[in-house]
């Protein structure tokens, strides 16, 4: 092994240990004793993005750890009503938003309720662009057209075009064969300004031929953007992944990432794992362009003024808070200034570039002094290059960013894990919350058996 390979291997090992240590140290969740008194408020001069969580799916994928419930139409309708009430709360608290990201879950799972929610969001705030996620079963052109003028970017979770992989993870039965999904995607082209196709790579036992075939098919469909995420394992998903896809002793992440970058050399790289046909302001990962954001909905996270703020996970608990006009927040955790500077360094590098002057101004910092060690290490291992006031990742630097962001998202599962079991327990106890006794009893019965 050459010196360069040794240095890169050590750098990757250090980066992994560093973020793992930071996440363990910094995720000291504080359960609020009087959560109803906590109010999210904007700071003068700051811009924020709005995130809305839709926690419903018809079935669950083994590698997905996001907060979700099995879909029930009546429960979802009540949830969206509460979501719109929380939107009005944010307006009353003085927030304005230029962009909105709707995540889940399957965000288009109840089109009529989502449409009402997006219309209200645009009426209340100065929102000019909305991104949403969905699955291959909710991209019929006749359904999507109702969101014309509302959704600017739609991300479709395909994950793989390989029929054997789709069968193993239960997506073949849910969404159809590779050929079926390809047809659905081609029919959905042109409805929105941007359609993004999402794939996962480095699945256990995935071959190079399977990866190349995924890339070939994705490019043949020619969506505006193609995103390839590395498989993200955490304690919440590890067993399910092993059960459905098996276990592999070979880690092809680095090798496959290099193949991906090579095959997308004719695309614009939006961030470490997204590739677009042309440069656009519509980003794949909202955290890259929005270090401060407000989350609404069950289990939604907000990142405000150096604090991770957490909404109630349990649907009935969330409903009780919103219907009584109280804050949906139940917990938060604070970060040190140094950790905040490191986090913002990571997300900006992941996004492709740091404007030194803007970074220093926005964070009241001096990146070369406050993060002298981090900057020195990144330069030493050849992960960044700096010129004309801009810091950009090298090819190796982009891979480091990919691994760090993967670890960051896996680390967020630790936060979800704290509240996941609690949400299940509470769902069988919370009563007198929905609009009337019938809905209360029905929702309680449903949710006690459907929490993920």
Average of per-residue pLDDT across 132-148: 94
Q: How confident is the model at residue 34 (pLDDT cuts 50, 70, 90)?
A: confident
Residues 55, 237, 285, 272: what is their CA dihedral angle, to the nearest 10 degrees? -170
What residues does 344 pair with on adjacent strands? none
**pLDDT(444) > 60:** no
* Pick from 13-22, 116-125, 219-228: least confident: 13-22
Residue ranges of the domains in the chain?
1-28+337-417, 35-289
pLDDT single digits (tens) 230-251: 988 777 777 778 888 888 888 8
Report DSSP state, residue 43.
P
Q: How confident is the model at residue 415 (pLDDT cuts 50, 70, 90)?
A: confident
pTM across the whole model:
0.87
Q: What is the pLDDT at residue 63? A: 76
Kindly report the average pLDDT of the chain as a whole number. 85
Decide if 1-28+337-417 and 35-289 have a common fold. no
pLDDT single digits (tens) 1-29: 555 565 566 666 656 565 555 555 445 67
Average of per-residue pLDDT across 77-94: 96
Q: Which two tokens stand for residue 433?
A: 């919350």
Q: What is the largest CA-CA distance in the chain?
A: 70
Q: What is the pLDDT at residue 255? A: 96
Instruction: Determine how many CB atoms are found less than 10 A away from the CB of residue 267.
Output: 16
pLDDT single digits (tens) 292-339: 899 999 999 999 988 889 999 999 899 999 999 999 999 988 888 998
Q: What is the pLDDT at residue 448? A: 40
Q: What is the pLDDT at residue 21? A: 56
**Topology annotation, domain 1-28+337-417:** Arc Repressor Mutant, subunit A (1.10.10)
Residues 121, 123, 129, 130: what is their CA dihedral angle, to the nearest 10 degrees? 30
Residue appearing with tokens 């390979």:
5
Percent of the chain with pLDDT over 70: 84
Q: Which two tokens stand for residue 123?
A: 């009426």
pLDDT single digits (tens) 263-274: 999 999 999 999
pLDDT single digits (tens) 61-70: 777 778 888 8
Cβ atoms of 153 and 129 within 8 Å: the answer is yes
Q: How confident is the model at residue 410 (pLDDT cuts 50, 70, 90)?
A: confident
Q: What is the pLDDT at residue 14? A: 58
Give the whole-angstrom CA distance, residue 403 versus residue 350. Answer: 10
**pLDDT(115) > 70:** yes
**Topology annotation, domain 35-289:** TIM Barrel (3.20.20)
Q: How far, rounded to the nearest angstrom, does the alpha carbon of residue 393 sit from its chain's CA centroid?
A: 22
Q: How confident is the model at residue 413 (pLDDT cuts 50, 70, 90)?
A: confident
* Pick from 132-141, 147-156, 276-285: least confident: 276-285
pLDDT single digits (tens) 333-377: 888 899 889 888 988 999 999 999 999 998 999 999 999 988 988
């Amino acid at each position: 092994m050459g010196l360069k390979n040794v240095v890169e291997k050590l750098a990757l090992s250090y980066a992994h240990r560093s973020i793992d240590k930071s996440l363990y140290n910094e995720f000291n969740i504080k359960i609020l004793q009087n959560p109803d008194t906590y109010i999210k408020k904007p700071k003068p001069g700051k811009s924020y993005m709005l995130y809305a969580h839709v926690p419903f799916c018809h079935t669950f994928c083994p590698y997905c750890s996001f907060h979700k419930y099995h879909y029930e139409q009546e429960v979802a309708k009540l949830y969206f009503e509460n979501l719109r009430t929380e939107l009005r709360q944010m307006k009353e608290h003085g927030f304005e938003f230029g962009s909105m990201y709707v995540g889940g879950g399957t965000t288009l799972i109840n089109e009529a309720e989502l449409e009402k929610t997006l219309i209200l969001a645009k009426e209340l705030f100065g929102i000019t662009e909305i991104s949403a996620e969905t699955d291959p079963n909710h991209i019929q052109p006749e359904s999507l057209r109702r969101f014309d003028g509302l959704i600017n970017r739609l991300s479709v979770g395909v994950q793989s075009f390989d029929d054997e992989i789709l069968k193993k993870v239960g997506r073949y039965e849910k969404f159809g064969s590779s050929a079926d999904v390809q047809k659905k995607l081609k029919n959905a082209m042109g409805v929105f300004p941007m359609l993004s196709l999402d794939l996962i790579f480095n699945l256990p036992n995935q071959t190079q031929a399977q990866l190349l075939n995924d890339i070939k098919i994705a490019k043949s469909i020619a969506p505006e953007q193609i995103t390839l995420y590395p498989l993200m394992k955490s304690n919440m998903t590890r067993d399910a992944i092993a059960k459905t896809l098996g276990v592999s002793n070979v880690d092809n992440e680095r090798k496959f990432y290099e193949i991906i970058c090579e095959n997308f050399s004719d695309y614009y790289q939006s961030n470490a794992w997204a590739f677009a046909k042309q440069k656009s302001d519509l980003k794949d990962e909202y955290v890259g362009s929005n270090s401060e954001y407000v989350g609404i909905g069950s289990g939604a996270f907000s990142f405000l003024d150096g604090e991770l703020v957490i909404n109630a996970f349990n649907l009935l608990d969330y409903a009780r808070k919103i219907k009584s006009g109280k804050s949906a927040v139940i917990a938060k955790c604070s970060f040190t200034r140094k950790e905040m500077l490191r986090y913002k360094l990571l997300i900006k590098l992941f996004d492709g570039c740091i404007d030194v002057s803007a970074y220093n101004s926005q964070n009241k910092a001096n990146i070369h002094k406050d993060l002298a060690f981090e900057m020195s290490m990144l330069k030493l291992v050849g992960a960044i290059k700096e010129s004309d006031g801009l810091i950009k990742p090298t090819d190796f630097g982009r891979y480091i960013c990919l691994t760090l962001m993967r670890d960051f998202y896996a680390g967020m599962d630790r936060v979800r894990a704290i509240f996941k079991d609690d949400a299940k327990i509470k769902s069988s106890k919370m009563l007198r919350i929905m609009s009337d006794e019938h809905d209360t009893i029905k929702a309680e019965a449903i949710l006690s058996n459907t929490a993920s």
